[in-house]
């Protein structure tokens, strides 16, 4: 009796036996699923193809929306940048004109004093 118990424990502890059991269980489950399926494989494949096409179309629309939003944002940023650049340029030109006027006045005052 002791030999039978030792032999049983040896078979249970083998990693290969667990793997074989898992494979056998998976195959049995897949076979049962196929036997109990409510529709034929042809219909199932058609449904899978239809869902795949729907998902592809949704993904395509989502990508187009993101690209469109990105382009709009880039245009707005570019426009804002150009507007700010013009403002800075105008401000710099005004500041330069004021400094030239001050310098000319200082030179004129220095000549008058001399």
Tens-place pLDDT, residues 2-44: 554 555 555 555 556 666 777 777 777 777 776 676 767 788 7
Indicate the DSSP class of residue 69.
Answer: H
- Residue 86: per-residue pLDDT: 96
Q: What does each C-alpha distance from 32 to 46, 89, 106, 112, 113 come to in angstroms? A: 21, 78, 101, 111, 111
Q: How far apart are CA 39 and CA 47, in angstroms?
A: 11
Confidence (pLDDT) at 102: 94
User: What is the spatial distance between Cα 59 and Cα 65, in angstroms, rounded to a whole number?
Assistant: 10
Higher-pLDDT residue of 93 and 47 is 93
pLDDT at residue number 92: 95
Q: Write the pLDDT tens digit of every residue in 49-79.
A: 888 888 888 888 888 888 999 999 999 999 9
**Integer Cα distance of 81 and 98 in angstroms:** 26
């Amino acid at each position: 009796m002791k030999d039978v118990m030792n032999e049983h424990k040896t078979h249970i502890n083998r990693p290969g036996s667990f793997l074989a059991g898992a494979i056998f269980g998976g195959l049995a489950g897949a076979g049962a699923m196929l036997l109990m399926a409510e529709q034929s494989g042809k219909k199932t494949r058609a449904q899978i193809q239809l869902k795949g096409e729907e998902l592809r179309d949704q993904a395509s629309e989502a990508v187009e929306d993101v690209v469109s939003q990105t382009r709009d944002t880039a245009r707005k940023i570019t426009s804002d940048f150009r507007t700010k650049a013009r403002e800075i340029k105008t401000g710099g030109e005004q500041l330069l004109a004021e400094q030239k006027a001050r310098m000319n006045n200082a030179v004129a005052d220095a000549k008058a004093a001399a």
